[in-house]
Amino acid sequence: MKITRLSLWHVPLTSHTAYYMADGKTCDTVESVVIAVETDAGLTGWGEVCPIPHYLPAYARGVAPALTELAPVILGGDPLGVESLMAKADAWLPGHAFAKSALDIALWDITGKAADLPLYTLMGGRQAADLPLYHSITCVAPDEMARIARDARASGITQFQAKLGASGDWRTDVERLVKVREAVGPGPLVYGDWNCGATTLWATRVGRAVAGFDVMLEQPCATLAECAQVRAATDLPMKLDELVHDTDTLLQAHKLGIMDAVALKLSKFGGLSALRRARDLCLHLGAKMCVECTWGSDIVTAAALHLGAATRPARLLNVCDLSGYVAPRVAPDGPVRRQGRIAPPDGPGLGIAPDRDLLGPPDLILD
């Protein structure tokens, strides 16, 4: 089997509610990149990557040039045996993991379709019928965040990520965490996420103030050393995200004792191939995992859910229905949340069919 064509679209995804984070980061309308990889066997694989502005070293308009540079490797390449072709891509164009993520997902989609198997079978075998979701709460006024949490709790959600730091006042972050905890009651998991936007002083003051409220802190500071300082000063469990993106950073975080939980995101690591390796390492290290992506619609949501379903349930913290936060839905048959949980599609490959009419004419064709 050979790859004959790659098509690419830029798709604006609009959040149902403007989404605020620390340090001025926002998700309102964010551009996602969707690709289709076609083969001479009549199979098409779909991939997606959706970088958030100012979040990580990734740029939506950088995907097309990267894939154009990789055209001599992609076109005519064998999509089966995904890691072999991705190794050639890495040798041809080092780095640019975010752009390669969409390609890697599409290749796995083709592989699953060729085998007539859902991707969770190829990722290690299904270990759970459905998966726990977390609900991410935009950083707004504390009372509004509490209302959002109550509504999500009523829908069955039991894990809540409260974004912090947008107002520039550590006391307001304390109020946010306390009110979200009170809104959902004892038992559900609540964690506050600064997305690298806090100083050690700020995060430590917040952590000590909420020490009696059963919360976890997520990615408070911009370096692993600073996060370790906050962990030691507050004695609160910590989840990492932005600072862990490969084997080396996972091992560093584990050595520092700050990786009680970790966000494994497709676009950070470079697709399903790399994320599966990270998943297996985290199983060995003992960290709880959130398997997801940075942002996006049905394609990245489905890809992450397949890997999540093939992960030991005791080590899976949660997953995210990214496509549930945005419009339009790229695939009408994409997965949806039910009673706080979500299941991967059961069809071959990703198990979804993106709507070509919605996508319209491609912005780039390589053939």
Q: Catalytic residue positions?
A: 163, 265
In this structure, the number of other CB atoms found within 10 A of the CB of residue 252 comes to 17
β-bridge mates for residue 161, sequence order: 136, 191
- Residue in the structure block whose two tokens are 């690709």: 35
In this structure, the number of other CB atoms found within 10 A of the CB of residue 81 comes to 12
Cβ atoms 333, 352 nearer than 8 A:
yes
Distances in Å between the alpha carbon of 124 and those of 220, 253, 307? Answer: 33, 26, 8
- Residues 100 and 112: their CA atoms lie apart, in Å, by 18
* Sign of the four-CA dihedral 71, 99, 223, 279: negative
- Residue in the structure block whose two tokens are 């952590």: 207
* Sign of the four-CA dihedral 91, 96, 98, 100: negative
What is the b/e burial string over 212-232, where b = at least 16 CB atoms within 10 angstroms of the residue's CB?
eeebbbbbbbbebebbbbbbe
User: What phi and psi, each to the nearest 5 degrees, are found at residue 123?
Assistant: -85, 5
- Concatenate the DSSP letters of all residues of 9-62 into one string: EEEEEEEEEEEE-GGG-EEEEEEEEEEEEEETTS-EEEEEE-PPTTTSS--GGG
* Sign of the four-CA dihedral 308, 313, 319, 321: positive
What is residue 282's three-state secondary structure? helix
Q: In what order do the strands lie in the sheet with 135-137?
A: 135-137, 159-163, 189-193, 216-218, 238-240, 261-265, 288-292, 316-319
Contacts of 248 (CB under 8 A, 6+ apart): none
